[in-house]
Amino acid sequence: MYRRENCCDNANAESFFSSLKMDRVKLRIYATRQYAKSDVFDYIEVFTIESTSTVI
């Protein structure tokens, strides 16, 4: 269960969102919300593929 005192619970999520912000969102200006959603979705796909391939 989630406990506020345990900082390691959110470490993976915080690492992912930090990478997302640094690699994608802060570097681009999106014309529409749909472009932003599509770009973030593409980043998530690549991120999960790369992270699962390094585990195997």
Q: What is the pLDDT along the chain (56 residues), one digit of tens a residue?
A: 555 666 666 777 888 888 888 888 888 899 999 999 999 999 888 877 776 666 55
Structural domain includes residue 1: no
Structural domain includes residue 37: yes
Structural domain includes residue 16: no
Domain count, the chain: 1
Within 10 angstroms of residue 42's Cβ, the number of other Cβ atoms is 11
Structural domain includes residue 7: no
**Distance from C-alpha of 20 to C-alpha of 28, rounded to nearest angstrom:** 12
**Distance from C-alpha of 28 to C-alpha of 51, rounded to nearest angstrom:** 23
Q: What letter would DSSP give residue 27? A: G
Structural domain includes residue 40: yes
pLDDT at 3: 59
Structural domain includes residue 52: yes
Structural domain includes residue 9: no
Structural domain includes residue 38: yes
- Show the domain range for 45: 31-56
Q: What is the pTM of this model?
A: 0.60
